[in-house]
Amino acid sequence: MHQRLAFIDTLRGIAVLSVVVQHALEVIVREHPTGAYHSIFHDAIGYYMNFGRFGVALFFFVSGFVIPFSFPASASPVNDFAVSRFFRLYPAYWTSIAIGLVTMQAVELRTYPLSQIVANITMLQSFLEVRHLWDFYWTLTIELLFYVACTILFAAGLLTRRLTAVAIVVATALAGAAVAVLVEDRAAWVMMEIGLNLSAMFLGKIIRDTVVGGTLRWRHVAVCTALYAVFAITLAGRRYGGAYEDNFFYSYSIAAAHVSAAVVFIVFAAFGERMAWRPLAFVGLISYSVYLMSPFAMVWVHHYAWPGDGPLAWLVFVAEVVMSSILVSWMTYSLVEKPWISFARRLRSGHSKPVVLEPALGRQGAAQ
């Protein structure tokens, strides 16, 4: 079946740990007296760089590198892809909802309307105009949109066309930057941000086609990355610019996150398995669970294991959050994710293998 690439899992590990550390530092800054360290902390994670958004953008690049090549060469590739993605996403997601509801009730005595819970169970709450139970679920909406886009392109025979992703990134970047500059409408900027995230995914495919498939050249990567960077910087300036509102989102931090994620991903892709680091690759293997479970692990740690104030205590808190998140996520990966992924494979329509652009990719085959 699919061959895992250790450098891709390493990138996943970097991405999810960036998100976890960002959220842990935000708790410190928001809820505890940081005194003379306040501006240093706040500027580091909100004004100049938002590491959470960096991690999310890195995840989107990884999705673009992997997902378009996940359609199996089987009798029913679209159906098999849909089944595979469903069991990859939903069981762990439902587990996080259950753990989240129990955690918020037990620790913070917080409850949620049944209608909101039911809508969130579908993972389609954004399309139903229902609020996410927890804000970090927004990235799953982008993932679903990308799956739909890839399915449509695959069904139309366009997904494996040489310049399809290039055309999408170029058109999206030019249109998005133009809207950001010319349109005075915050709702339009929000829509363009969705386009920015989707373009990151297709840029990930372009990089894959360059370093693995060999159907594109580095000049394609260079042009598309430059346009993506212009799009990100322009949109961030409009959507998050102006006065810094102390909410960890600002034009500098969001633009830096997207551009840095692109640079990091390109460097890793260029050097391949030489960039792999096994400990981070292990975290990357369970990164979906880490992303889903870490907010609730942090609630428990913050409430019951807060080490106190001061730089050393804050470092201990971040370490507690990271380690507890990894431990819980290893359990949910082993007990939930992995069994359901295996179950989905048994549902595929006969023997299949992933669709690739080249007859043989050697050791750089598709990563799961």
pLDDT digits (tens, 9 = 90+) for 306-334: 999 999 999 999 999 999 999 999 999 99
The answer to whether the beta carbons of residues 86 and 50 sit under 8 Å apart is no
Q: Flag whether pLDDT at 111 surpasses 80.
A: yes
| Contact status, residue 97 vs residue 293, Cβ threshold 8 Å | no
Task: Give the per-residue pLDDT at 129.
Answer: 94
Tokens in use for 141? Answer: 């909406």
pLDDT over threshold 90, residue 166: yes
Local confidence band at 102 (pLDDT 50, 70, 90 cut-offs): very high
pLDDT at 353: 54
> Percent of the chain having pLDDT more than 90?
88
Q: Tell me the per-residue pLDDT of 248-267, one tens digit each, with 9 for 90 and over.
A: 999 999 999 999 999 999 99
pLDDT of residue 292: 98
Above 60 in pLDDT, residue 223?
Answer: yes
State the pLDDT at residue 31.
93
The helix/strand/coil state of 363 is coil
Please, are residues 224 and 19 in contact by the beta-carbon 8 Å criterion?
no
* Cα 243 from chain centre: 28
- Over range 49-73, report the average pLDDT: 96
Q: What is the 3-state secondary structure (H, E, C) of 2-38?
A: CCCCHHHHHHHHHHHHHHHHHHHHHHHHHHCCCHHHH
Give the mean model confidence (pLDDT) for residues 70-81.
92
Residue 82 predicted with pLDDT over 90: yes
Confidence of residue 247 (pLDDT cuts 50, 70, 90): confident
Mean local confidence (pLDDT), 64-74: 92
**Residue 238 above 70 pLDDT?**
yes
For residue 324, what pLDDT is reported? 98
What integer pLDDT is reported at residue 366 of this predicted model?
Answer: 37
Comparison of pLDDT for 42 and 364, the residue scoring more:
42
pLDDT computed for residue 221 by the predictor: 98
* pLDDT attached to residue 3: 62
Q: How far apart are the first and last CA of the chain?
A: 9
Q: What is the pTM of this model?
A: 0.93
Q: How many CA atoms lie within 13 A of 21 on its CB side?
A: 17
CB 261 within 8 A of CB 204: no
170-219 tens-digit pLDDT: 999 999 999 999 999 989 999 999 999 999 999 999 999 999 999 999 99
Report d(CA 327, CA 255) in Å as an integer: 32
Q: Alpha-carbon distance 213 to 93, whole Å? A: 32
CA distance 54 to 111: 31
Average pLDDT over residues 149-157: 97
Backbone angles phi, psi at 234, to 5 degrees: -65, -45
